[in-house]
Amino acid sequence: MSYCQNLKLSGKEDWRLPDIWELEHSLDVRGPNSPESSALFPNSNSLHWSSTRFGGFLRLHNPIDDSWATTLEDLDKHFDTRCVRSISGLGSMASRTVNLYGSNPSQTQLSNTGSNSRYSWTAETVEDPLRKLVWRRKDAGEMSFEEAKRYCENFVLDGVRDWRLPEIAELRELFIGVGTEQEVIQRVFPIPQGFYWTKSQFGSGIWYHNPWTGNGATIEILFKPNISYHTLCTRDSGIATAVPSGTVNLYNSKEDSIGSNSSGSKGRFRWTDFIVEDTVKNLTWQRQETEKKNFLGAQQYCAGLRLEGSNDWRLPLMSELRELNRQIKSGSEIYKEIFNQPMDNFFWSGALTDFGTRVWTLNLWTGRAGTIDPKQGDQLTTMCVRNTQLGQTTNNSERTIDLVAYERIQKASIEVVGCGFFHVGCLEEPLKFPSYQANFHLKGYRRVHLWGKDRPWTQTGLLVNKGDLVYFYGTGEVTTCPHSNCNQRGPQKLDQGTISYQIGNNQPQTLSRFTKIHFNGGGFQNSDLASTSGFLTLTIRDGDLSTSSYKNYEDNSGVYILDIFVIDPKQEEGFKRFKDSLFGANPEDSNVKAYLSR
């Protein structure tokens, strides 16, 4: 961070670390694997520092493979550093105070109406036809996040009340493409400099942003509920607006906006009535629009989809959605001729974050990303994808796993659940995956530390579908009642019925059938067939879960270390091959030693 702050390059001194959004989009123009990106941004295939904080941690990001991680700021760890600065001239403005209103605000002469290459405005509002947004022209003052959110939601102007706080991407683009920023600020938005609230969440934090300097961060309002920033409301324009020549009007009716051919090919894409094949990325996309679904419904829809002889459909990765967004932005014919989908919508990805408690989404037209709590039941657009591999057979009875899905599971399992700054004695590394083999089978894996003191419920991040088989392997002891008058006093092993699990909002079940893997070993195993679908959560049983007080957990101690696998019960042979290779690849892991009685 200090390197960027002290950097002097090309006569400029206002360099800084990029935020996570800027890192994620640093290769958007050409795509991460293009020769142009390799020439412009050499040595990008590694984790880079960002200025974005996630709780008490700093975010890291790899722009090539779209992976990320977190680390404590004060740890002596080294990652690649790439500095950035705003090219708009606002960096130099940020070092001094700019009075937009003159010496006397009442004497400021602002045009009540006008237009430029991007905006048109009245005394009260500014319309952005390209982004299909209407902004308030004046800010509502500084207030807390909850006050700002409530203010915008209750604001009424000319009989319209569907106002809201902006997304972080909308606020970042506020001054883009309109000539000089001075003109934008003085003529279009007579608003003060400073940080402004957004509605965008990142983990448990809320984004705030300064559109002049380009700086922004997240704040956990749970711990700082009274902190105040400026408030600028916006709303979606609902008017069919002509967009500039050479772009696509996404705002007319579906029939007007789609003029696609039933089959054909163009550049890297080939398509039929039902699918679109990307010959560069070896992906096949579903072409036809489906009704919007919640996340679980989208997962089940893709898993059960049978289309043109293939049955291995899935929700896309975020990197796959971003690449498709790049192609759409670089050539409008991809929308007009190829996809029978309205792209100006948020699409589900299959990527989870926050230990599986939120799902990444992406607007394929604007490139805006966000996360959603799947338990809220939001309905988003669903478009399934599958890997197109030469000689791949997708409709046979043995449904194993392809390389991309394997790497996706591996990446999702990197963070160990229940290991953090305040937990001592964690096995902080998950089991290292063996090299990919086509005859492996696996749907999900996570290592979980389930502590005796942890109150219900611990999120595993594993999505389980009805009919899946869940395997639990584990070690450890937990004491739930140290007093002399307890029925089960002292440490309890896994075979003593001390764990309950829940799938979605289903009734909690007790994992009471743990058995020793080896007679003289310390490892246990259990399995259960899922009777419903949802995210898997766990807890230590300490009394009746429906009535017990959280105080029951204060005197508990110990930890169970669990390795949890989700599989298709029809593919046990493929899972056994994977499990044997996994244990063989981790001979020094203490849990594996217990499982194998070494």
79 lies in which domain range?
2-85
Closest CA to 449 of 469, 470, 429: 429
Least confident of 233-247, 268-282, 410-424, 580-594: 233-247
State whether 558 and 443 are in the same domain: yes
Q: In terms of domains, do 131 and 279 share one?
A: no
Are residues 38 and 113 both part of a single domain?
A: no
Report if residue 33 sits inside a domain. Answer: yes
Residue 60: the pLDDT is 79
Averaged over 249-254, what is the pLDDT?
34
Does residue 254 lie in a domain region? Answer: no
Residues 463 and 523 in one domain: yes
Residues 139 and 196: beta-carbon distance below 8 Å = yes
Q: Is residue 96 part of a domain?
A: no
Nearest C-alpha neighbor of 328 from the set 27, 66, 28: 28
Residue 397 counted as domain residue: no
Cross-strand partners of 208: 197, 217
Q: Residue 329: pLDDT above 70?
A: no
**Which residue in the block uniquely carries the two structure tokens 């947004």?**
133
Of 387, 421, 455, which residue constitutes the final position of a domain?
A: 387
324 is a domain residue: yes
**What pLDDT does residue 135 have?**
93
Helix %, strand %, coil % of the chain (to 5):
20, 25, 55
Specify whether 468 is located in the same domain as 549.
Answer: yes
Confidence of residue 401 (pLDDT cuts 50, 70, 90): confident
Mean pLDDT, rounded, for 451-478: 88
Residues 194 and 341 in one domain: no
Local confidence band at 95 (pLDDT 50, 70, 90 cut-offs): very low
pLDDT band for position 492 (cuts 50, 70, 90): confident
Residues 336 and 437 in one domain: no
Cα separation, 341 vs 343, in Å, equals: 6
* 3-state secondary structure at position 351: strand
pLDDT at 214: 74
Structure tokens of 329? 């932005």
Whether residue 433 lies inside any domain: the answer is: yes
Considering the domain boundaries, does residue 40 fall inside one? Answer: yes
Q: What is the domain-level CATH number for residue 495?
A: 2.60.120.430
The residue among 358, 387, 416 that closes a domain is 387
Say if residue 187 is in the same domain as residue 226. Answer: yes
pLDDT over 80 at 465, yes or no: yes
- What's the pLDDT tens digit per position in 7-18? 888 788 888 888
| Bridge partner residues of 436 (DSSP) | none
Same domain, 287 and 345: yes
Tokens of 387: 């890997």
End-to-end CA distance of the chain: 46
Same domain, 361 and 407: no
3-state secondary structure 404-446: HHHHHHHHHCCCCECCCCCCCCCCCCCCCCCCCCCCCCCCEEE
Whether 380 and 407 map to the same domain: the answer is no
What are the Cα distances from residue 293, in Å, to 353, 513, 526? 20, 36, 33
Average pLDDT, the chain: 76
Q: What is the DSSP string of 10-73?
A: TTB---B---HHHHHTTTTTT-TTSHHHHHHSTT-SS-EEEEEEETTEEEEE-TTT--EEEE-T
Is 412 a member of any domain? yes
What digits encode the pLDDT tens for the residues 509-540?
888 778 888 877 788 999 999 988 888 989 98
Q: For the chain, how big is the Rg over CA atoms in Å?
A: 27
Q: What is the pLDDT of residues 368-395, one digit of tens each?
A: 888 888 877 788 889 999 888 643 444 4
Strand bridging mode 385-387 / 283-286: antiparallel
For residue 77, give the CATH number of its domain: 3.10.100
Asked whether 288 and 340 are in contact (CB, 8 A), the reply is yes
**Domain identity same for 300 and 345:** yes
Domain count, the chain: 4
CB neighbours (10 Å) of residue 199?
19
Highest mean pLDDT among 151-160, 195-204, 410-419: 151-160
